[in-house]
Amino acid sequence: MSALPPCPKCNSEFTYEDGVQLACPECGHEWSATDAEAGAAVEGPKVYRDSAGNVLRDGDTVTVIKDLKLKGSGGTVKVGTKVKNIRLVDSDHDIDCKIDGFGAMSLKSEFVKKA
């Protein structure tokens, strides 16, 4: 029996094969067995992608694809709002930006499209 690699997300030793993928029963993370063989432990810089899968970079201009309700102020960022000069951060909301009329805020990359 060959030893399977631990889960790259939670480091659990109880991983198992699920078809061509490996899975972790503790956190539910699934990854490709070929990634584990290629040395998935070697991580490069995080790649941020928009809703269409385009790679985002600092300074890009993006467009909001969904009405976003703001907590606290009660306002709404409307569909089609252009956001210029974004800054990518390693956080739950991975885009820091300034939107005219709203000021500084954080957005999730899944709700924007590269302009």
Residue 74 within any structural domain of the chain? yes
Pairwise CA distance, residues 64 & 22, whole Å = 35
Residue 52 within any structural domain of the chain? no
Q: 4: pLDDT confidence band, cut at 50, 70 and 90?
A: confident
Cα dihedral: 105, 110, 111, 115 (round 10): 90
* pTM metric for this prediction: 0.62
Tell me, what's the pLDDT at 39? 52
Q: Render pLDDT for 11-64 as a digit per residue (tens, 0 to 9).
A: 888 888 887 888 888 888 888 876 655 454 555 678 899 999 999 999 999 999
The domain in which residue 37 lies consists of 1-42
Residue type, 83: V
Question: Where residue 37 sits, what CATH number does that domain have?
Answer: 2.20.25.10
Same domain membership, residue 109 and residue 67:
yes
Q: Render pLDDT for 67-104 as a digit per residue (tens, 0 to 9).
A: 999 888 778 999 999 999 999 999 889 999 999 888 99
Q: Render pLDDT for 64-76 as a digit per residue (tens, 0 to 9).
A: 999 999 888 778 9
Tell me, what's the pLDDT at 29? 84
Sort strands 55-56 and 48-49 into parallel, antiparallel or unpaired: antiparallel
